[in-house]
Amino acid sequence: MSLARRRSQRATQISAAARTITQRAPVTLTLARHRAQPTAATIIRLTACAVFAYLIALPVPETSPPVLAPLTALLVLQVSIYQTLYSAVRRVAAVVTGVLIALGLSRWIGFTWWSLGLTITLGLAVGYALRLREAVLEVPISAMLILSVGSKAAATSRITETLIGTAAGLIAGLVLTAPQVEPAEEAIADLARTMADLLDQMAAGLNDGSIDDSARAWLDQARALGNEITRVDEALQRAEESTKLNPRSMRLPYSTVTLRQSLETLEHAAITVRVLARSLTDTTRLAGDDNSLNDPDVRRGLADTLRELSAAVRIYSSLATELDAHGHEVLKADLERHLAAARDEQDRLSELLATAPAVRPVGWPLRGELISHLGRLRSELEAGTPDQRPRPRRNRSWRPPRPSRQRVPPALRKLIR
């Protein structure tokens, strides 16, 4: 290859990379701003809560200077009211337990190295027995502080400031904590977008004939969807927990398709995409006429089916977050249209892949697998449409019932890999 030709190809690659970076730049900036907003909101919540606790504890004579009140408020306040309440209960129980242990030991022993060890051992034992979890260290800490001072006034001050800080954390949680629904909705959209992009890549590779070089990469991307599903599940758990005991959750709008049900549908679809990618990879290993993908008509028909399914996946993710009735009906009609088109393309592809029973080429089971996986992916999306689901009473996208998720058995996971 001549030097001029290599330079030309290099310039083309750099130009393509520059276009890709330019296209992704707005998305990257948007994600950066989105990630910065929760951090700034958390800083404001914690600062306001600590200052509020300090101002409440300032007039109390036993708490001067009231440093423990804002400290307790910072430790109590969590990302959800549900977590804040449990943290408050454990924190108060830990401090009161530690103070009682210190007052009991101070009557019999003084502050020495062996009494310090005894206090820590007893405090940790009681804390673990009460299942205080992350607040278990508060028991020996409170006991050591009170035992070193040996004053009932210090014990009273410790408990008072803890109660004030806990109350401030609870009030701040009720006032400042909002349901975290948008991150869960965005996680659902990202998962569907990733899955749809993979289907588009498969369709493009089938059209340009690069499937032999790309099939293995498609399989790796399909396997990576499991990590995305785990991330979405964690976001949904945070969203569901953020609505517990939250007064603002009563004002959240109603949605027909819940986020949890949508995740289950996309999870089943991701498994189907993985086994479909596996079948394509196995097919590329066949030679000659045994490889059905050597037929341009088969590749074209399979690509058309994948494109319709990709569009259906993108539309399906919007159904979970679309709250407008008219917009919901429009999306539903578009989903049905793409699924119907995928069914027609699949029927034509079935005719192309059909073989006589007497012939049975080497890769004939893979032909049936391709059709089966395409039909299963389409049926998963059809089963997830609103008309096919029971409409629960007062069920919202942010607060669904927690059904038992259908997991794939480990033995089956090994087979489809």
Three-state DSSP string of 96-116 = HHHHHHHHHHHCCCCCCHHHH
Verdict on whether the full-model pTM lies above 0.95 = no
Establish if 16 belongs to a structural domain. Answer: no
Residue the block writes with tokens 């009932």: 152
Q: DSSP state, 38? A: H
Q: Does 321 share its domain with 401?
A: yes
Looking at 160, 176, 192, the residue that finishes a domain is 176
Q: Does 161 share its domain with 188?
A: no
Q: DSSP state, 320? A: T
Q: CB 33: neighbour CB atoms within 10 A?
A: 9
Looking at 176, 206, 233, the residue that finishes a domain is 176
Q: Does 219 share its domain with 121?
A: no
For residue 133, give the 3-state DSSP assignment.
helix
Q: Does 53 share its domain with 77?
A: yes
| Distance separating alpha carbons of residues 37 and 167, to the nearest angstrom | 26
Establish if 160 belongs to a structural domain. Answer: yes
Q: Does 153 share its domain with 115?
A: yes
Establish if 12 belongs to a structural domain. Answer: no
| Distance separating alpha carbons of residues 181 and 167, to the nearest angstrom | 26
From residue 70, give the alpha-carbon distance in Å to each of 49, 59, 62, 64, 189.
7, 14, 15, 13, 39
From residue 81, give the alpha-carbon distance in Å to each of 38, 139, 178, 212, 240.
16, 24, 9, 53, 11
Q: Does 271 share its domain with 405?
A: yes
pLDDT at 178: 67
Q: Does 45 share its domain with 114?
A: yes
Length of the chain: 417
Q: How many domains does the chain have?
A: 2
253 preceded by a cis bond (ω within 30 of 0)? no
| Distance separating alpha carbons of residues 350 and 371, to the nearest angstrom | 7
Q: Does 262 share its domain with 406?
A: yes
The low-confidence residues of the chain, meaning pLDDT below 70, are 1-38, 62-64, 79-80, 82, 176-180, 242-257, 355-361, 363, 384-417
Looking at 176, 192, 217, the residue that finishes a domain is 176
pLDDT at 63: 58
393-417 burial, b at 16+ Cβ within 10 Å, e below that, comes to: eebbbbbbeeeeeeeeeeeeeeebe
| Distance separating alpha carbons of residues 68 and 141, to the nearest angstrom | 13
pLDDT at 182: 73
Q: Does 120 share its domain with 216?
A: no
CATH number of the domain where residue 230 is located: 1.20.58.220
Report the chain's terminal Cα–Cα distance, integer Å. 40
| Distance separating alpha carbons of residues 178 and 80, to the nearest angstrom | 8
Q: CB 322: neighbour CB atoms within 10 A?
A: 20
Establish if 3 belongs to a structural domain. Answer: no
Domain, as residue range, for 159 = 41-176
Establish if 18 belongs to a structural domain. Answer: no
| Distance separating alpha carbons of residues 205 and 142, to the nearest angstrom | 65
Outline where 177-245 has alpha helix (H). 182-208, 211-242
Q: Does 305 share its domain with 195?
A: yes
Q: Does 163 share its domain with 212?
A: no
Establish if 167 belongs to a structural domain. Answer: yes
As a whole number of Å, the CA-based R_g of the chain is: 30
Establish if 374 belongs to a structural domain. Answer: yes
Which tokens go with 210? 């690069």
136-156 burial, b at 16+ Cβ within 10 Å, e below that, comes to: bebbbebbbbbbebeeeebbe
Establish if 335 belongs to a structural domain. Answer: yes
Q: Does 101 share its domain with 197?
A: no
For residue 219, give the 3-state DSSP assignment.
helix
